[in-house]
Structure 1
Amino acid sequence: MIGKLFLGGAALLLAGGVAMADPIEGNWKTESGATAQIAPCGGSYCITLKSGKFAGKKIGTFQAAGSNKYTGKITDPAKDKTYSGKGTLTGNNLKMGGCVLGGLICRNQTWSRI
């Protein structure tokens, strides 16, 4: 009986440890050379600048949209304007985009995993 409880408890601990990070999580080098960190926050992924002129500033929140695609909001820290955002992960590159006017005008960057 105690052996079964022990095995059951061990199985629960192993199952909890199997949870893997989403591929978008981690540190990224932006086109400006700053480091951005993408980390889980309240069911989403928050993007915070860790270096550069705007270090410490949260610049976005994304949600997984399937097949290494993400959607949400992204802020241009220099202009302090927020746009509809999207991200596509391919290997160690993250193509980030921000759009206005329903996607009529967009600006894209490619970030590299550090």
Structure 2
Amino acid sequence: MSKFTALAAVAIFAASISAASAAAPIVGNWRTASGETAKIAACGKAYCTTILTGQHKGKRIGQMSGSGASYSGQITDPSSGKTYEGTAKVDGNSLKLTGCALKIFCRSQTWTRK
């Protein structure tokens, strides 16, 4: 392998590590409070949540914007189809989601990273 090829390989490897570490803390697969797996991934300038397993497999249930540990947006209860304004807070391998109706009636649940 030539020096140029070796340097190019190192540069590509370093770039892939930087891209992976730049992912937002909310991105990944999460075990929901009811035991399903949900995937949170970048979608445009936001982060979308899709159920991967269980009765509601394939349903997109949320869209949040934010960075670091704090996000806000909308989350849909896949059972009822009702959409709520909500927040998400990442703390290590935990994700606390809070959804509110009329900003008065709020409910929270915690998901864990898979």
TM-score when scaled to structure 2? Answer: 0.83
Aligned to 2:44: 42
Aligned to 2:83: 82
TM-score when scaled to structure 1? Answer: 0.83
Aligned residues: 106
Structure 2 unmatched ranges of 5 or more: none
Provide the rounded CA distance (Å) in 2 between the counterparts of 1:71 and 1:63.
6
Aligned to 2:53: 51
Aligned to 1:3: none
Provide the rounded CA distance (Å) in 1 between the counterparts of 2:54 and 2:68.
31
Structure 1 unmatched ranges of 5 or more: 1-5
> What is the percent sequence identity of the aligned residues?
49
Provide the rounded CA distance (Å) in 2 between the counterparts of 1:14 and 1:34.
34
What pairs up with 1:67-106 in 2 under 5 angstroms?
Answer: 67-101=68-102, 103-106=103-106
Provide the rounded CA distance (Å) in 1 between the counterparts of 2:14 and 2:73.
30
What pairs up with 1:12-31 in 2 under 5 angstroms?
Answer: 17=16, 18-19=18-19, 20-31=22-33
